[in-house]
Amino acid sequence: MGVEVSDIAAWGYGVAAGAYALFGLYLFMAWRGGTAGAALLGAVSSSALWAAAGVVQARFPGDATQLASGILDVVRWACWLGFLVVLLRPLGGPRLRWHGSAAIAVVVASLLSVLFGQVPVGEPTPTSLLALAAPLCVPVLGLVLVEQLYRNLPQQSRWGLKPLCLGLAAGFIFELYLFADAFLFGRLDADVVAVRGIPHAMVIPLIALSAARTPSWTVRIAMSREMVFHSTALAVTGAYLLVIAAAGYYVRYFGGTWGRALQMTLLFAGLLLLGVFVFSGSQRARLRVLISKHLFPYRYDYRNEWLRFTQALSQAGGTMDLGQSVIKALADLVESPGGTLWLRDPAGRYVMSARLNHPASDAVEPGEGPFCRFLDEREWIIDLAELRAHPAKYDDLMLPIWLSTMEDAWLVVPLKSPEALVGFVVLGLPRAPFEINWEVLDLLKTAERQAASYLARMQAAEALLESRKFDSFNRMSAFVVHDLKNLVAQLALMLKNAERHRHNPEFQDDMIETVAHVEARMRALMTQLQDKKSVDPRRTVDVRLLVENVRMAKRHQLPSVSVVAPEAALEVSAHPERLERVIGHLVQNALDATPEGGIVSVRMDRPDSSKVRVVIADNGCGMSASFIRDQLFRPFQTSKASGMGIGVYEVRQYVTELGGTVRYESEEGRGTSVTLTLPSAARLAESKMPEVEQPLS
């Protein structure tokens, strides 16, 4: 049993009735008063009643149902014409007042033709032309009103009503075709009447879009971007199906045996297009940008964007740390695939702290440099392409060399807390062409302040944790002082006994001298821990002598330490005992990491007149780049079973205090090279800076 035309009509009008009913209910709940909103609600409600009457007529054909459907059809078009007249009233003034009179005349004529003239659906009758004359005038007048509305709208207001004009014009054109064909042949086309409800239901999204864009109607309709995105995907799918249907119609109409081949080609093309949108982030980004640009007055749905941004920051710690989460949250706002995060280190410099889809960099940006001062003072988001094209807009700011050589760098987003510049994010080029306007800049500025507060709290928490660790270390030092006091007492007693019972004069003299030195040093350490100040004042010292002392102290360990030094003195201004302890610690680390048959060397030179360089190298086990970056210089972080994890931290603290630098170069399985660069005593003397004693770390 095949599908009858009446079945198609019932389903078509049923879909239209349901769509208009739901839309009318939504309008009723969203209506906040206003003549235009009331007229729209009336037009939608009458359309729902007309579609419902069409379902009844399709299921129960007869004169009564046909009359009721015809009357509701006239009422529906009267409401839509009235809605257009309401919209035209504030635009046209006296010269457009004829619209209302014309609409009333056409509606009355159409109602009389329904009441007194029966329009046949099958064979034509002599009265058909008279009965169809008035209904034919309705779509003609409707198209005139739509044209007048669009023409008289100001240029800046057409964007809001363009979907409405398009939807109503499409509906009127369908009605014009229906009644023009009927007027030509003297009867209505049964097939066109059967599907009449579906075209009118299809214009509902366009009407809803204009209602959402026009707040003056006082109809608060909110259309989410997710809904539009999926609706667009549905529309693309529908277009694809239309292409397949048109191809099938062509094959059926003209014949041929290549229909299956065409079917397979179109199926493959559809699957390929689906795969591109599913797996390509750039294509999805292009679609989102297209939708936001052409279908919405604002680019972002701020509620969803802010919830997504906050959730990304709060969920840090899973697959990504907080730094990577900040990069991703900012990058997603502008369709960027990733970037780098630069944070302020304890020395006041900005170094790369995290990266996402971007290579690592060892570049360092000084905190007092012009670039960071610009970000701190202006708090501007720098568009690098705009800066290169129009440097005057950024006060001729000069980019750092490391940033100007980044090929995919796009935006620089400062992270400013209320106190200071926490850091900045360098975002990569977007997946799709992306326009930077005031809305994007405002959202990024708001987001970067939120991210800066998160990062500032993280840094404060880390500083507090380190402070607590040092507090624990200080409490432990009290016990160390107590133990040292006991050791000093025992050594003093041993010295007294040794002086009474010496048998071998040379051996005993050497023992007494060694123990006396240890006793004196232990007393100095105890005084230093108790008073928290240096007992070893800074003075000019030859680094070669300190290295020789370290070599002699390590002469019983393997491998032997080789020393290469120039004949001329290498003098620096430092605390001799502390600098010797720092070099000794680095040499001991090299010995611990190197097997007995390996090589440990200390090389000293003067790269220029203002610097002294000490390089401690070995061919031991080495360290990974991630360990050097994330753990090596942190206090209480150690890879030794018996280590305390403060040696390397003390090295950097003290060398920085002297005005020098520490650089580690290491590779797992190949060894490690540590380079200390210290200012020479001659340069410090020329600078005539006052000596300030610093407490020991």
In order of 13, 17, 453, 496, the CA distances from 7 in angstroms are: 10, 15, 64, 120
Residue 223 in contact with residue 208, Cβ under 8 Å? Answer: yes
pLDDT level of residue 340 (50, 70, 90 thresholds) = very high
576-593 and 543-553 helices cross at what angle (nearest 10)? Answer: 50
Residue 508 has pLDDT above 60, yes or no: yes
Report DSSP state, residue 526.
H
Q: What pLDDT, in 10s, does the model give residues 629-646?
A: 777 776 655 555 444 456
Residue 73 has pLDDT above 90, yes or no: no
Residue 466 has pLDDT above 80, yes or no: no
CA dihedral sign, ordered 635, 641, 642, 648: negative
Residue 189 has pLDDT above 60, yes or no: yes
Q: Give 222's contacts (C-beta < 8 A, 6+ positions apart).
A: 212
Rounded to the nearest integer, the mean pLDDT of the chain is 75
Query: pLDDT value at position 469?
Result: 65
Query: pLDDT value at position 696?
Result: 37
The closest alpha carbon to 403, from 438, 352, 445, 367, belongs to 352
Three-state DSSP at 534 gives coil
How many CB atoms within 10 Å of residue 68?
17
In order of 274, 275, 285, 563, the CA distances from 280 in angstroms are: 10, 8, 9, 59
Q: For 263-309, give the secondary structure using H, E and C.
A: HHHHHHHHHHHHHHHHHCHHHHHHHHHHHHHHHCCCCCCHHHHHHHH
Distance CA 242, CA 623 (A): 63
Residue 143 has pLDDT above 90, yes or no: no
Of 146-160, 161-175, 528-542, the least confident: 528-542
Q: What pLDDT, in 10s, does the model give residues 551-590?
A: 887 777 788 889 998 888 888 888 887 788 788 888 888 8
158-185 and 128-152 helices cross at what angle (nearest 10)? Answer: 160
Q: What pLDDT, in 10s, does the model give residues 38-67?
A: 888 889 999 999 999 988 888 888 878 888
CA dihedral sign, ordered 240, 244, 247, 253: negative
How buried is 523 (Cβ within 10 angstroms: 0-12 exposed, 13-18 middle, 19+ buried)?
A: middle
pLDDT level of residue 205 (50, 70, 90 thresholds) = confident
Of 1-5, 305-309, 441-445, 662-666, the least confident: 1-5
DSSP output for 301-356: -HHHHHHHHHHHHHTTTSSS-HHHHHHHHHHHHTT---EEEEEE-TTSEEEEEEEE
Of 137-151, 173-187, 570-584, 622-636, the least confident: 622-636
The closest alpha carbon to 12, from 228, 194, 222, 214, belongs to 194
Q: What pLDDT, in 10s, does the model give residues 31-40?
A: 777 788 888 8
Q: What percent of the chain has pLDDT over 90?
A: 7
Distance CA 367, CA 370 (A): 9
In order of 148, 157, 294, the CA distances from 154 in angstroms are: 12, 5, 18
Q: What pLDDT, in 10s, does the model give residues 653-684?
A: 788 888 888 888 888 888 999 999 998 887 65
* Residue 470 phi, psi dihedral angles, 5° rounding: -70, -35
Residue 227 has pLDDT above 70, yes or no: no
